Amino acid sequence: MKKVFANADEAIFDIHDGATLMVGGFGLCGIPENLIGALVKKGVKDLNTISNNMGVDEFGLGLLLQKGQIRSHKGSYVGENRLFEEMVLAGKLDLELIPQGTLAERIRAGGAGIPAFFTPTGVGTVVAEGKETREFDGRTYVMERWLKADFSLVKAWKGDKWGNLVYRKTARNFNPMIATAGKITIAEVEELVEPGEIPPDQVHTPSIYVQRIFQSVGEEKRIERRTVRKA
C-alpha cells in the first residue's frame, strides 16, 4: 500500500461534506495543524468533529469553526475559544460534553472493537441522562458507547514510510487512541524516515493503524496560554 503523500492537501483528497473526524491534540499541543489548514482550504462543510477541545479562535479547529465548516462536536473542554462558546449558547452548534476520561476511553473502545462499557463517572448528572445504568458490587455505573470516525487526523514527531509513529512528550496525549479509531488514519509527522530507522520498542502507533502519512511543513508551535511567575 502506498502510504506516503506529498502534503496535507493530497492526503485529505476524499474527506467529504458530513464526514466524522477525530482530531488529535490537547489544547494546541500535538494538533495536526497542516491537516486542519488543508480542510479549511478545501472548504468541506457539515463536519462532525471529535476532539478533546476546539483549539482557539484563530488556530487549530477554531479555524474550521470560524469558517462555519463544523456541524457538531464531541469533546471535554470548551475554554479558550470565544466563538465556540457563543455558538453553543446560541444553539448554532450541536455539542456533546464528555468527561475527559470517558472521552479517552470511548475512543480507545472504538479502536479496540468494544461497543460499550460501564463507568461510574457521570452517574446522577446530566451526563447519564437517557443512558442505561447498572449496579456492580453495590455501586451504580452508566453505560457509555464507543466512538469511531470516518477519518482520524493525528500529529506525530517522527514516522516511517510504513506508518509507524512516535510521539514526543505531552504531544502524545490523545493521538495514539485516535489513531486506532478511524476507518482511515492520516498522520502528519515532523520527521519522515525510512522503514527500520525507528527501533520497534520505541513505536507508539504501529503502522497497521495508519493508512496515509506525510511530512509537515511550517510548524507553528503556539502556546495556548502563556503564564509567567511574577518577579
Q: What are 161-171's pLDDT values in tens digits?
A: 999 999 999 99
Query: Does residue 227 belong to any structural domain of this protein?
Result: no
Query: Does residue 21 belong to any structural domain of this protein?
Result: yes
Query: Does residue 44 belong to any structural domain of this protein?
Result: yes
Query: Does residue 151 belong to any structural domain of this protein?
Result: yes
Query: What is the edge-to-edge ordering of all strands in the sheet holding 133-136?
Result: 116-119, 139-145, 133-136
The mean-pLDDT minimum among 12-21, 161-170, 188-197, 210-219 falls in 210-219
For residue 154, the enclosing domain spans 8-215
Asked whether the beta carbons of 201 and 229 are under 8 A apart, the reply is no
Percent of the chain with pLDDT over 70: 97
Model confidence at 114, in pLDDT bands (50, 70, 90)?
very high
Query: Does residue 1 belong to any structural domain of this protein?
Result: no
Model confidence at 218, in pLDDT bands (50, 70, 90)?
confident
SS3 15: coil
Q: What are 20-55's pLDDT values in tens digits?
A: 999 999 988 999 999 999 999 999 999 999 999 888
Q: What is the mean pLDDT of residues 172-188?
A: 97
Q: What is the pLDDT of residue 224?
A: 67
Query: Does residue 3 belong to any structural domain of this protein?
Result: no
SS3 208: helix
Write the DSSP symbol of residue 47. E
Query: Does residue 2 belong to any structural domain of this protein?
Result: no
Q: In this model, does residue 61 exceed pLDDT 80?
A: yes
CATH number (domain holding residue 43): 3.40.1080.10
Mean pLDDT computed over every residue of the chain: 93
What DSSP element (H or E) covers 185?
strand 182-193
Q: What is the mean pLDDT of residues 212-225?
A: 81
CA–CA separation, 77 and 53 (whole Å): 5
Query: Does residue 78 belong to any structural domain of this protein?
Result: yes
**Number of domains comprising the chain:** 1
Write the DSSP symbol of residue 29. B
Model confidence at 214, in pLDDT bands (50, 70, 90)?
very high
